[in-house]
Chains A and B, each alone.
Chain A
Amino acid sequence: MHNNLASQTELQSPSVLYLLNLAIMVGPANKRQKREEYRTAHREEAAPELPKKKFYRQRAHANPFSDHQLTYPISPETMDWSPYYPAFVLNVAPGGTQTLSKDVEVADIGCGFGGLLVALAPKLPDTLLLGMEIRSQVTEYVQERIKALRAQNADAHLYQNAACLRANTMKFLPNFFRKYQLLKIFLCFPDPHFKARKHKARIVSATLNSEYAYVVRPGGIIYTITDVEDLHNWMVQHFDSHPSFQRVPEDEQEADECVSVMRTETEEGKKVERNKGKKFVALFRRLEDPEW
């Protein structure tokens, strides 16, 4: 029973989920032990191989309203980015605070296993990309993946501009980024939260869009993609009706190189491809704020 439950990764009923949690806490000791051993070994390796996903899987949903044991900076000014982008650390006098030569300008919110991040990093070598993911194990996977890619491509100096951290962006986005700091935000295959009473947990809403507008500078772009038509309509409707955003016309959208990467390189994108599902893309440009 426990084994059976624990092997499921996508479930719907909260009560079953609770059982699942219990099952993992007390349940299959062997599997859990193996996972931990693998992950510890991977962390300690200096030049590791790419991590195996099966040791980092975590259920696809997280409650954005609960108080996870999250670490987040008090404010963007107090964020220490140096462990995330060591190649971009400015040499400062000993004892001085470490700063980066540039700011993070692209955020992949809900980056999952990091497919988009890894595909975009070599294409935007001079831009710092940050994946933000609420699930701790998935975050660790992406961090290990980037570590391995950096080690494997040390000569070409690739992937130094990509990093991932665990965050609940619905609550703490302004703790990480200053006003107008970002150029692009990606919202790829977000949790559709099908049930009407769960719609408030969606990553796009009238009120959250104001926060995206706050961290994205005028002219910046929000990228959205989903295989759920209803969610696509929802996102379009909410960004269209927000005075700070305007939809990017289709010809311009198709000319954007990030769009094809988003379609083909994300894990979800590939999964939808395999299932021959549809993908719905929409881009929104941040407009200038009117006078006040």
Chain B
Amino acid sequence: MSKLRMPYQCIEKAGKFLVAARGSSIDLFSLDDLSLLSTWKFPHAQGLSTKGGTQSTTKNHSINMLETPALDTEPPHTSPAAKRRKLSDESSTQAVEAGERKSMTKPNSRSDSVASGLEDPAFITLASTRGGQHVIAVTGEDKTIRVPMPKRPCAITITQDNSTIIAADKFGDVYSLPLLFSELEVDQTPGSIATPRTESSSKPFTPAANELTVHSQRNRRALENQKAQSNKASEKPELTFEHRLLLGHVSMLTDVAAVDIQGRGYIISADRDEHIRVSRGIPQSHIIEGFCLGHTEFISRLCIPQGKPNLLISGGGDNELFVWDWLTCRLLSKTDLQSLIADVLLEYKAKNDGSYPKDEIKVTVSNIVHAKHADWNDGADMLLVTSEGVPALFTFLLTPDNILKHIQTVKLPGNALALTTYALTPEGSIIVSVDSIHKPGSITDCRSEAEATEPLRLYMFRGNELNNKSIFKPTNAYDEKQSVKLTNLLYNLENLRKRDGEAKEFE
């Protein structure tokens, strides 16, 4: 395997630090000098010892909370000792304090299409608290658990009061959990719509059907079998932390946002079946205020611009980006993204005969990030958008009449993976994670060593224009693994698209 740097699938800023996840490790960079401070590795050995020989058939989902070095401690770059502050120290302390060392296994027979091919569970999303004190990291597959979730969390956010994590899972449910864990409290807290358990696990099994409710010969036989069967104990372990079911879709959730507007909280959730749902916040999250309907393909990203909490920008598999007044569920504008992407991919996808099937280029929005600072880009609301497998960053200006105006297509040295903004007074910067393994424009072809690039890049606004400023200082994050398998980890949104034929119905 060539010496290519491992790309970062998600990045998040936390105070003066940048938290970047590559595979199952998290790197912590200083935003002052862009230097690598520490690396947190997944506690691999521990996982093995607790699980024994069952890893091959287990798959868990967890939310890991890491505490970033407190901002009031001495700056990390002043002494070598400070540099050695390891995230793992904090996180394990945190976890032990919270008493959340329990492991949970869940057999999963489904072929694992999301497996990253890495030995350790890979992080799929990151979120940080507003003060940057805590970072939440979610893994898709897991062996040791900080907070086991009933289903794989797909998206997380943190409420505006910084106290609660809102987690949306693959099965369509949205849960809340406290940011700082305490011992288990009873599930029946206000705001939860979960019903009391119908059967306790100690209750012997009795079939819910009886001779009067089944009518076919085969079903009657099945009922007899059920009755003859010995009572099986419930195999699902109880969750050992406080979590409340807030709301749910019968679909796969793709993104979730928590907003406060006019003193009221709301939860906005998006799914694979083209729905954006607006629900009230805790404790009335069971009340649906409305749906923003208009997408005709899956939705993958929601963005609420800071300072304009009434607006929502959404994107996914549709050719356009949508701007909504989400409280009234009104569509304000749509902006084409497909042709911009097609222009970028022209040099990579054009056929030998020069033809270019422009219309076949699909949009798969992977990031929508709002960038605004009084001192940079003239105080304008800018939106930065990326699409899966596209080596470019698209910038849009949000006009006062709520239209997205394309400003710039910033070509990147690799496919855009993740991005985050931060203010380096008086200038504003964008940190972009690019795919350092695959060739630009491809999600499967690997680079040669000559085509190596740094995975993290810094761009800076000059007016409304973004310019490449510098790259992050090298890490030792060389990839020793088969990069082909990284495709599933880095590019999983396009799988949300419904395919013709897949849905073919049997009669």
Contacts and interface: CB of A to CB of B under 8 A. Distances in A.
A194 B264 contact: no
B193 A207 contact: yes
B507 A213 contact: no
A276 B208 contact: no
B309 interface: no
Contacts of A233: 198
A238 B197 CA distance: 10
B194 interface: yes
Nearest to B293: A75
Contacts of A29: none
Interface centre among B171, B234, B247, B506 (most CB of A within 10 A): B506
Given A206-B248, A210-B286, A242-B286, A231 B208 contact: yes
B218 interface: yes
B209 A194 contact: yes
A91 to B, nearest CB: 28
A206 B245 contact: yes
Nearest to B216: A10
Contact of A241 (B171, B195, B503): B195
Interface string A166-188: 00001110110001000000000
Contacts of A67: 498, 502-503
B293 A244 contact: no
A171 B212 CA distance: 31
A77 to B, nearest CB: 8
Nearest to B265: A292
B195 A206 contact: yes
A234 B279 CA distance: 25
A interface, size bucket: 35 or more
A64 B196 CA distance: 24
A260 interface: no
Contacts of B506: 21, 24-25
B234 to A, nearest CB: 8
A12 interface: yes
Contacts of B250: 64-65, 170-171, 207-208
B193 A206 contact: yes
Interface in A189-246: 192, 194, 196, 200, 205-211, 213-214, 227-231, 233-234, 237-238, 241-244
**For the side of the interface on B, what is the size category?**
35 or more
Contacts of A210: 193, 247-248, 279, 286-288
B213 interface: yes
Interface string A1-32: 00000001111100000000100110000000
A134 B505 CA distance: 11
Contacts of A237: 195-196, 198
A230 B209 CA distance: 8
Contacts of B212: 227, 272, 275-278
A66 interface: yes
Nearest to A189: B213
A200 B506 CA distance: 22
Most buried by B among A12, A74, A179: A12
B222 interface: yes
A68 interface: yes
A243 B218 contact: no
Nearest to B173: A207
A62 to B, nearest CB: 9
B472 interface: no
Contacts of A33: none
A175 B216 contact: no
A24 B216 contact: no
B507 A171 contact: no
Interface in A56-96: 58, 64-69, 74-75
B273 interface: yes
A207 B245 contact: yes
Interface in B271-298: 273-275, 277, 279-280, 284, 286-288, 290-291, 293-296
A231 B207 CA distance: 12
B219 interface: yes
Nearest to A137: B507
B198 A244 contact: no
B215 A271 contact: yes
B294 A75 contact: yes
Give the most central of B193, B213, B264: most A CB within 10 Å. B213
Contacts of B173: 207
Contacts of B275: 174
A149 to B, nearest CB: 25
B190 to A, nearest CB: 10
Interface of B: 171-173, 193-196, 198-199, 207-209, 212-213, 215-216, 218-219, 222, 234, 245, 247-251, 264, 273-275, 277, 279-280, 284, 286-288, 290-291, 293-296, 498, 502-507
Nearest 4 CB-CB pairings of A with B: A207-B248, A230-B208, A277-B212, A21-B506
12 contacts: A10-B219, A65-B250, A67-B503, A136-B507, A171-B249, A194-B209, A206-B286, A234-B198, A237-B196, A242-B193, A275-B215, A292-B287
Given A24-B506, A66-B503, 6 more contacts: A69-B504, A174-B293, A179-B290, A207-B250, A234-B198, A244-B287
